[in-house]
Structure 1
Amino acid sequence: MAVEAGSGELVKVVALLGAAVVMVPLFRRLGLGSVLGYLSAGLLVGPFGLGWFSDPQAILHVAELGVVMFLFVIGLEMRPAHLWSLRRQIFGLGTLQIGLCTVVLAAVAWLCGLRMPAAFIGAAGFVLTSTAVVMQLLGERGDIALPRGQRIVSILLFEDLLIVPLLALVAFMSPLPAEAGEGSRWMAVLVGIGALAGLVVAGVWLLNPLFRLLARVQAREVMTAAALLVVLGAAALMEVGGLSAAMGAFLAGVLLSGSTFRHQLEADIEPFRGLLLGLFFLGVGMALDLSVVAANWPLILSGLLAMMAAKAACIYVVARITRTGHRDALDRAVLMAQGGEFAFVLFSAAQAAGVIDGTANANLTAIVVLSMALTPLAVLAVRGLAGREAGPSMDGIEEVDGQAGSVLIVGFGRFGQVMSQALLARDVDVTIIDTDIEMIRSAGEFGFKVYYGDGTRVDVMRASGAATARVIAVCVDDRRAASRIARLCRDEFPQARVLVRAFDREHALELAQLDVHFQVRETFESAVRFGQAALEALDMEPELAARISDAMRRLDAERFALELAASDVNAGKPLVIGNTPPATPTPFTPPRRASKRLDAGEGGESGGAGAPPAA
C-alpha cells in the first residue's frame, strides 16, 4: 500500500512537471509569456480542472520559497549604497502610490457591495502587487536594472514591508475577543526589531567568514547547501519576528552584495529559484475556484475590472505627478495593476479574525488570482497599442524613399557612427537608416542625415537604394536582425558587397555560412589593441607588442577557418575574417601561454562552443 501511495504521488509530480513543460513553451511561443503558461497549467491540473491535485494551498506554501529566493537574488544586485540612493523612491513614491490606491480601491469595493471593513481589507490586499508576477515580467524584458525597473522594485519592497502593519491592523479590527497572552503587542514589535537586528549582525560579521571557510573545503555541494541555509535561515528568522520572509531574504542578499562570493551564491540559488517560482505560479492557477467564479461571476467580473482599472489609473496619476514620462507611467500602471500573493495571507488572517466572512474571502481571492492571470495579457495589449499609437513622435523624421547612395548603412548606433566617419570624411555618397527615432533626431542635431527604415524589410531596403548600392554595411545592435538583413541582402541584392557587424564568435560563424563578404566581431579588434597597450605598459617594445597582436589576429583567423571548415559550409571559398586573411603565415610564434589565453578568450566570452587549438 505504501508503495502504491508513493507511486501515486510520483505520478502527480510527473503530471505537474509535464503540464508546465507543455504549457509554458506553448504560451511563450504565442507571445503570452511564461507566467500565463504556468497559471494555465495549474488551472488545468488543479482541483477545479482535471482534479489531479486537491490541495493547492499546500503547494503554494512550499512554492512561496520561489518568491523568497527571487528577492534574495535581487538583493545580491543591490549594494547598500545603491539601496540608500533609492530611499526616496521606496518610501516617498511607495507611500504616495499605496495611499492613493488604498483610498480609491476601498471606495470601489464599497460600491461593489462590501461592508466598509471588508472593503478596506479587499483594497489593502489588492494594493499589495504580486512581486512574483512583476519581477518575472521585468526579468523576461530585461528591465530590472533599468531606472524604470528600479522604481518598480522600490515600490514592491515597500509593499512587502506593508504586510506587517496590515496584519497588526487586522488584529485591531477583529470583533473577536483577544486570546490570552496577546495583550502586549509591544512585545511583538520588539521581537521583530530583534530579528531584524540579528539578521544584520549575522550578515555583516558572520556570513563572509563562513563562506571563506567553506570555500577552503572545495566541496561544491556544501557551498550550495550554505547558500540555501542563508536564504531559508533569513526567511525563517523574519517569520519568527513576525516580518515578511521575502523581505528577510532580500535583506540577506543586500548584506552579501559586496561579498566576493556573490556570483557563486547567485549561481547556486538560480536553479531552485526558477523551479520554485514556476511552482508558485502553478499553485496560484490551482487556487482559482471555478465554482466560486461561476456562482458569483457578475460580482467577480465587475470587481476585477473596476479594481484593476482603478489601481492602474492611480498608479498612472502618481507616476505623472512624480515626473515620469507617459509611456513609462502607462507601462508601470498596467504592470502593477494586479493583486499579489500577500493578499492571500491578509484575506486568510482577516477571515480568521472575523473581519470578513468566507464568501468575501473566496470572492476576493478569485479577483486577485484572475488579476494575476490577466496581467501578462494586459501588458502585451497595452505595449502593442503604445507601440502603434503612443510611440515617439515622427515629427521631423523622414522615412526613407527613393535613395541611391553608393553605400547603405543599416543601423546608426555607436558602431555605425564610428565606421561612417571614414566614408563621410572622403565625401562618399552614403545613405543611413535606423529605427530609433530619438537617435535619428539626435543625429540630425549633429548634422547627420539619417532616415527612418527597418532593414529587415525588403521593400524598405529597395527604397533605401540597396538595389544599386555598391556596399551594404549592417551595423545593427541585434544579432537576429543582423542575420536576417545579411540573408536578405545576399538573396535580393547580389551586386552589393555585404559587410556585417558580428555579435560574437558564434554569430561570426553564422554570418560566414551566409557567405557575407566581410564580418568583424564588435569587440575583437578593440580587445586585441587593448592587450597590446597592456604589453606596452609593461615596458615591452612597441614593435614586439605589435607583432604579438598581429600574431593573435592571424592565429584567431586560422582557428576560425578551421571551425568553419569543420561545419562543411563554404569549404574552399575565400574568406575574410575580421581584419586578417587566414592564409598568411607569420615568422613570429607567441609564447605558449599567450596561445592558451587566445583559445580561452572570445569563445568563453560569447558563451559559444569551445574552440579547437590554434596550432
Structure 2
Amino acid sequence: FLVIIPLLASDGGTEVQQNSDFWIAFLKGAGIFISMILIGHFALRRIFHFIASTKSEELFNITVLLIALMAAWITESVGLSLALGAFIAGIMLNGSEYRHQIEIEIRPYRDILMGIFFITVGTRLDISTIPDIWLNVLLLVLGLTVGKAILIAALSRLFEGDNGIALRTGLVLSQGGEFGFALLALALSDNLMTSEESQAILTAIVISMAIAPIMIKYNGRITRFFVKKDTALKERYQKAHDFSVAVKEVKDHVIICGYRQIGQNLARFLREQGIDYIALELDPKIIKGAWEAGDKIYYGDATHAEILIAAGLYRARLLVVTTADMETNEKIIMTARKKQKDIQILVRTRSDDHLDKFTELGATHVIPENLETTMSFVQMSLESLDVDSNEVIRVTERVRQNKYESLRNYFQGENPRKNTDQGSKSSNTLFTFILQEGDYATQHVINDLYLARFNAKVKGLRRGRFYGDNPSSDTRLKAGDALIINAPADKRPEIENYLRHFDKA
C-alpha cells in the first residue's frame, strides 16, 4: 500500500500506461526494499559495533535517528513515500543484534512522537460533520471491528486449533491501528479521497480504538458467552486468575524462566528446602503436565517486563534463567535488570561464549555448561584420587570466583567448532612460543614486552623441567624458555614476529 498509494495519485493515462506504471513502481519499491535490507544486514552491524565501542549513548541515539531519516529520504527521492522508508528502516534496525538496546533507547522518542502523531490525527477530525455521516461511520466501525475480528479469529483457529483462543485473539486485535492513520494521511496528501470520505474513515478508526480497551478487558466474558462449551478456555481463564492470586501471596521467592529439565529439577530442590518459586514457560504441553502435578508454573513470556513484574519481580530474591536460547536469555537479563537493580540473576549458557556479555548486561552469576562439566570432572577426579575434600572445594570455588578464567585458556584444534563438547567458538586460543638465541624477547622481563597491545597474556612459563602458571610480570626471559600465551587466534603470527624481531614487526 505504501508503494501503490502514490501511484494512484498520478494522472494516469492509458490503461496500458497505468499497468506499466504500476509494475515499474512495484519493481522500484521491491528493488529499494531488497537493497536497503542487504545494506542494513552487512553495513549496520559494523556501524553499530563501532559506535558501541565508543560507549557514547548520544552517538548511538543519533545514529538510529539518522538511519530512519536517511531511509525515508531515499524512498522519497525515488518517488516513493516517506512512510515506506521509515518502515524499511525499522526492519533494518530490527535485524541487528543491537535491536533490544535500540528499542530501549528510542522509547522516549517513540512516546513523544506517538503523542504528536495522535494530536495531529485529532486536529484532522471534524466533529461537526459526524451528524451528517453517522450512518457511514457506524457501518465502517462494524465492518472494521467485526470483519477484522472474524478474519483474525479464523486465521488463529486455523493455526491454534482452539475456538476460545481464536475468538479472544480476534477481539483483542479487532480495532484499527496507527498504520491506518498513516495510510489515510498519505491518501489525503495525494488527494485520493474527498473530505467527507476521509472524515468517515478517520472517525471510524478513532471510535474502534476508543472501544478497544473495553474489548480487551472483557474479551474473556464475551468469548465465554459465544463459546460456552470451550473447556480449554475456561481452564486458561481460571489459571490466569490463579496466577494473579498466587503471586500476590508470594514473596522472597525464586522466579524460574524456562521450565524444562534444568528448571524442573531446580524447582524440586527448592520445594525440598521449603523455598517458594514461580515458574514461567511458553510450552503448553509442559505447562499442562507440570500444573496437573501441582507445580507453580504459569504461561508467560519472561522477556516482557509486565510478565516479570506480575510474577513478583520486585518481591523475589532470585531470578533464574534456564532457557536454551541465548538471545532470549539476553533480553530477559536486560529487562529484569532495568526494572529491578538489586535482584540476583542466575543465568545458564551452553558455553563460555556468552559469559562476559551476560555479566556485562547485569547477570550476577553465569553458569557455562561446558565449563561446569569440566568442574565436575575435576572434582570427581580429585575425590577419586583421595584428595582432601576441603582442598577440592577450595580449588573449585577459586575457579568459579575467577569466572572460570583458567578454564577458558586451552589449545585449539584445526576446527574451532570441535574444540569443546559444547561447540564453543572462543576467538582466543593458547599457543606455545619457544624463545631462541637472539630473539628480541630474550633478556627482557615479561612486563616490558607489553603484550596487552595484542590483547594477549602469558599464562604459563616452562624453563627446563620446571613449569609455572601465571608467571610474575618481572620474570626475565631466557633462550629456551617456552611461553604459553593466550591471545586472539588471528594475532598469533603478529605476536610471534614481534617476539622474535621487534625491529621488523
Q: What TM-score, normalized to structure 1?
A: 0.40
| Structure with greater proportional strand content | 2
- Higher RCO by CA contacts (8 Å cutoff, separation 6 or greater): 1
Q: What TM-score, normalized to structure 2?
A: 0.47
